[in-house]
């Protein structure tokens, strides 16, 4: 039987603004070929879990501190299997995943990064550090990238990118907000829809 949508898991660590953008996109029909079935956080106090609960989405906490890297990844895999997950979205998930894990889900894990890859990406470039580096360099245009995840941090194939101009007198904080609003929250839902459609097509 042909199914209408794929199952999505979102991995989070913090406030969950990108998760909220995905939930809103699902509600407004931008994401039409996928459904968020599960939200997994590595931190029990992540506000993203509250956002998921408010949207009646199942949540789980998997702590790297308690389980170690391999234990955490095994537990995540277990949850993904139990919930028949097709796509994993990293939305501000602050743990690097090992090659063993990413290989298992080839072209099924997507991440949003707050710069135009290959600028300001790779190991050590995350969160505000990306925007600090961009401002230090004096770039006039930055943006966001949604890409597939492989064993190299920010090294997977690019799905979508969106450029954002950098206003004068920007701070890392103001630039972070601007890139989220004008790029991340727009292209992440679109990329999820593109990948979801592709999986459904492959099943036809």
* Catalytic (active-site) positions: 113
Q: How far apart, in whole angstroms, are the C-alpha atoms of residue 105 and residue 99?
A: 10
The number of angstroms, rounded, from the C-alpha of 200 to the middle of its chain's C-alpha atoms is: 20
Buried b or exposed e, range 48-61, using 16+ CB within 10 angstroms: bbebbeebebebbe
């Amino acid at each position: 039987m042909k199914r209408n949508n794929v199952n999505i898991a979102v991995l989070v660590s913090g406030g969950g603004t990108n998760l909220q953008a995905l939930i809103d996109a699902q509600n407004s029909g931008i994401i039409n070929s996928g459904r968020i079935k599960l939200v997994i956080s590595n931190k029990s106090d992540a506000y993203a879990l509250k956002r998921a609960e408010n949207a009646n989405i199942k949540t789980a906490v998997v702590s790297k501190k308690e389980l170690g890297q391999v234990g955490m990844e095994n537990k995540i895999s277990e949850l993904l299997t139990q919930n028949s997950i097709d796509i994993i979205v990293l939305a501000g998930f602050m743990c690097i995943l090992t090659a063993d894990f990413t290989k298992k889900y080839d072209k099924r894990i997507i991440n949003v990064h707050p710069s135009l890859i290959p600028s300001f990406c790779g190991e050590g470039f995350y969160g505000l550090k990306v925007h600090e580096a961009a401002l230090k360099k004096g770039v006039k245009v930055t943006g966001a990238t949604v890409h597939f995840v492989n064993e190299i941090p920010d090294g997977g194939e690019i799905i979508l990118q969106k450029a954002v101009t950098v206003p004068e007198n920007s701070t890392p904080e103001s630039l972070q907000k601007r890139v989220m609003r004008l790029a991340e929250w727009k292209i992440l839902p679109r990329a999820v829809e593109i990948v979801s459609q592709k999986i459904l097509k492959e099943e036809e």
